[in-house]
Each structure stands twice: as structure tokens, then as C-alpha cells.
Amino acid sequence: MSDVAGTTTDIVYKTTEINKIGACVIIDTPGFDDVSILGEKRIKLTEKAIRKTDIAVLLICDDDFVEEKKWVNKFSENSIPFIMAINKADVFDHSYIVHLEKKIEENFDQNPIVVSAKDGEGIDYLYEKIASIGENMIEETTLCAHLVSKDDLVLLVMPQDIQAPRGRLILPQVQMIRDLLDNKCMVICINSDQIDEVISILNKEPRLIITEWSVYV
């Protein structure tokens, strides 16, 4: 952050959780106003961010929409849904905010969300709007629903080698466990040297055994 206009040129990525969507990455761009010697670099980085964007939030602070219209066209070309938000609600007087709302509706056919990054006004509603759009974009994916059925017993052979983070499971292991539980399966997680013992004490054979290539069952 800098109080000097035009000096912030980096894209900032922040992981977070949004209700109804789940894990997300918020991308804070350098903006698109070309008012400094670094202006061209800022615009190129913002254009780069579009290629990674699923939902765009376009912040409005004044009533000159020349640049905003260009970016809305870019969103449309890339099939990116966008939300218009009037920032600095803590600074602008009510009459100016009403003026901006009317102009945004006239120019973009959209009701803007009034927010304040400083005191948090409207932020919760902004998240709700993002979530309402994101819910319709999420594709239901599953790792192994085509292999299992409800109440199937699944054995996960999970060697904990020196590359695994101490005290934690790696992401693919967590994803697999969650996917199987979502499909109403019964899951047993073991180390590779426990396969024979576990199978010998089970009352029924596992429907599926998932293991890495180096382990033979």
C-alpha cells in the first residue's frame, strides 16, 4: 500500500473462504488508470489478472466511466460476470453516492453495491453477491463417484514418507477422503505395511483399494 498514486504496481493474491463457494483466491490488481510513469505496467498486470478471473469486482470512485467501459467490454469478451461497487462510502456524501448510483444504472444497467474498505460498510453484502454468482458457476466434480456406491468400504493406503509434511496430510489425500465421505463411503486409512493385517481382520473385502504405484496389494 502507498499513499502516493501510481506506486502500487504488484498484483496481490489472497486466499480466503467465501460462504456457499468455498476456497477462493482474491486478486487485488494495480488498477487501470494511467496517471504515472508506471501506468503502462499497471494496466498490463491488470489485463493479465483477467485471464485468471472468474468474477470481477469493478470499484467506482468517480463519474467518468471512459476506462470502466473499456474494462466492462473486456469482461464481456471473456465471459466474466462482474459486480459494480462504489467505494469510499465513508468519504463521499450521500448526494454524490446517489448521483453515482444513477449514472452506473444508466451506463451499465446494474445496481451498484456501496462499500467502504475502511469501515467495512457493504462488504458482507458484496460477499453475498459474489457467492450468488459463484454458486451458479461451480461445476460438481468428484474423484471416484463412478467407482463406488453408498456404504462401500474403501481402503486408502497412504505411506507417510519423508516428503510428507510432518503432522499433516497432503492435499490429494485430504481431497480423496472428503470425496469418499461425500459419496457416503466408509473409509479406512492405513500405512503400506498394515495392508495384510487390516484385510485379515475385516469382516468384508474392501470395495476399492487406493494406493500409490510403489505399493502392491
Q: Which of 37-51, 125-139, 157-171, 182-196 has the largest mean confidence?
A: 182-196
Mean pLDDT of all residues in 113-133 = 93
Least confident of 33-37, 49-53, 182-186: 33-37
Identify whether the C-beta of residue 143 lies closer than 8 Å to the C-beta of residue 202. no
- pTM (predicted TM-score): 0.62
In this structure, are residues 29 and 11 in contact, taking their beta carbons and an 8 Å threshold? yes
Burial environment of residue 158 by CB neighbours within 10 A (0 to 12, 13 to 18, 19 or more): buried
Which residue, 200, 125, 118, is CA-closest to 155? 200
